[in-house]
Chain A
Amino acid sequence: MLGYTIKRLIQMVVVLWAVSVIVFLMMSFTGDPVFMVVPIDATDAEIAQARRILGLDRSLPEQYFIFVQNMLQGDFGRSYVFREPALDLILERLPATLEIVLVAMAMSAIVAIPLGVYAGANPGRFSSRTIMSGSLLGISLPSFWVGMMLIFLFAVKWRIFPSSGRGDTVEILGTRWSIFTADGWTHVILPSLTLSLATMAIILRITRAGMMEVMRQDYMKFARAKGVSRRNVLYRHGLRNALIPVVTIFGLQLGDLIAFATITETIFAWPGLGKLLIDSIYRADRPVIVVYLMLVALIFVVINFLVDIVYTLIDPRITVK
Chain B
Amino acid sequence: MTTITTALRALTASACLAALSAGAAWAEKSLTIGLTADATHMDPQAGEELSSNIMFYHIYDPLVRRTPELTFEPGLAESWELVDDTTWRFKLREGVKFHDGDTLKASDVVFTLDRLKDSLMLNLAANIESYSAIDDLTVEIKTPAPYAALPNDLAAILILSEDHVAKVGDDGLEQNPMGTGPYKLVDWVREDKVELEAFDDYYMGEAEIESVTFRPITNPATRTAALLTGEVDIVQDLAVRDVDRVKREEGFEVITRPSLLNLVLALDMRAESPTIEGENPMTDRRVREAMARAIDVNAIQRAVMGGLSTPSDQYVPQSHVGHVDGMNFREMYPYDVEKAKALMAEAGVDGFTVTLDATNNRYVNDAQIAQALAGMLARIGVDVKLNVMPKSNFWGYIRVPTPNSSFIMSGWDVPSGDAGSMYGALFYSRDKREGYGQVNRGSYSNPEVDALIDKADSTAKVEERDQYLQEATKILMADIPMIPVHYEQDIYGAREGVEFAPRTDKFLWAYTMDVAE
Where the two chains meet, the residues of A that have a C-beta atom closer than 8 Å to any C-beta of B are 30-44, 46, 49-50, 53, 81-84, 89, 92-93, 96, 148, 151-152, 155-156, 158-166, 168-169, 176, 182-183, 186, 266-269, 271-272, 275-276, 279, 281-284
Q: Is B361 an interface residue (CB 8 A)?
A: yes
- A283–B392 CB distance below 8 A: yes
- A163–B171 CB distance below 8 A: no
Give the residue name and chain of the B residue nearest to A159 (CB).
B12
Q: Is B192 an interface residue (CB 8 A)?
A: yes
Give the residue name and chain of the A residue nearest to B22 (CB).
A183
Q: Is B46 an interface residue (CB 8 A)?
A: yes
- B396–A35 CB distance below 8 A: yes
A53 with B120, Cβ < 8 A, contacts A160-B8, A271-B189 known: yes
Give the residue name and chain of the A residue nearest to B224 (CB).
A156
Give the residue name and chain of the A residue nearest to B47 (CB).
A37
- B16–A269 CB distance below 8 A: no
- A164–B222 CB distance below 8 A: yes
Q: Which among B12, B192, B216, B228 is the interface contact of A160 at CB below 8 angstroms?
A: B12
Give 19 A-B contacts (CB < 8 Å), ordered by A residue. A31-B390, A31-B393, A40-B410, A40-B439, A46-B122, A53-B120, A83-B41, A83-B174, A148-B222, A158-B8, A160-B12, A161-B15, A165-B193, A176-B189, A183-B18, A269-B222, A272-B191, A276-B191, A283-B392
Where the two chains meet, the residues of B that have a C-beta atom closer than 8 Å to any C-beta of A are 8, 11-12, 15-16, 18-19, 22, 37, 40-41, 46-48, 120, 122-123, 126, 171, 174, 189-193, 215-219, 221-222, 225-226, 228-229, 231, 361, 390-397, 399, 410, 412, 421, 425, 434-435, 438-439
Give the residue name and chain of the A residue nearest to B227 (CB).
A163
- A267–B222 CB distance below 8 A: yes
Interface centre among A151, A160, A164, A282 (most CB of B within 10 A): A164
Nearest CB on A from B514, distance (A): 24
Nearest CB on A from B37, distance (A): 8
A39 with B123, Cβ < 8 A, contacts A82-B40, A158-B8 known: yes
Q: Which among A30, A36, A159 is the interface contact of B15 at CB below 8 angstroms?
A: A159
- B217–A269 CB distance below 8 A: yes
Q: Which among B120, B218, B228 is the interface contact of A37 at CB below 8 angstroms?
A: B120
15 other contacts beyond A160-B8, A168-B22, with CB at 8 A cut-off? Answer: A30-B392, A34-B396, A40-B439, A42-B438, A83-B46, A89-B190, A151-B221, A159-B12, A162-B229, A164-B217, A164-B226, A165-B226, A266-B218, A269-B215, A276-B191
Nearest CB on A from B4, distance (A): 10
Q: Which among A36, A44, A161 is the interface contact of B395 at CB below 8 angstroms?
A: A36
- A83–B393 CB distance below 8 A: no
Residues in chain B near residue A151, CB distance under 8 A:
221-222, 225
Nearest CB on A from B303, distance (A): 26
Residues in chain B near residue A38, CB distance under 8 A:
120, 123
| Distance, CA A166 to CA B216, complexed state (A) | 11
| Distance, CA A165 to CA B32, complexed state (A) | 12
A282 with B225, Cβ < 8 A, contacts A41-B425, A165-B215, A183-B18 known: no
Interface centre among B41, B123, B216 (most CB of A within 10 A): B123
A268 with B396, Cβ < 8 A, contacts A43-B434, A44-B438 known: no
Q: Which among B122, B174, B421 is the interface contact of A84 at CB below 8 angstroms?
A: B174
Residues in chain A near residue B37, CB distance under 8 A:
279
Give the residue name and chain of the A residue nearest to B32 (CB).
A165
Residues in chain A near residue B19, CB distance under 8 A:
162
Give the residue name and chain of the A residue nearest to B395 (CB).
A35
Residues in chain B near residue A159, CB distance under 8 A:
12, 15-16, 229
- A83–B171 CB distance below 8 A: yes
| Distance, CA A114 to CA B171, complexed state (A) | 53
A163 with B231, Cβ < 8 A, contacts A31-B392, A168-B22, A282-B361 known: yes
| Distance, CA A31 to CA B218, complexed state (A) | 23
| Distance, CA A282 to CA B231, complexed state (A) | 28
Interface centre among A42, A50, A186 (most CB of B within 10 A): A42
- B231–A164 CB distance below 8 A: yes
- A160–B15 CB distance below 8 A: yes
Residues in chain A near residue B46, CB distance under 8 A:
83
Interface centre among B41, B221, B394, B397 (most CB of A within 10 A): B221
Nearest CB on A from B302, distance (A): 28
8 A-B pairs with least C-beta separation: A271-B191, A35-B395, A31-B392, A31-B393, A32-B396, A41-B425, A271-B192, A163-B225
| Distance, CA A84 to CA B42, complexed state (A) | 12
- A271–B190 CB distance below 8 A: yes
Nearest CB on B from A56, distance (A): 12
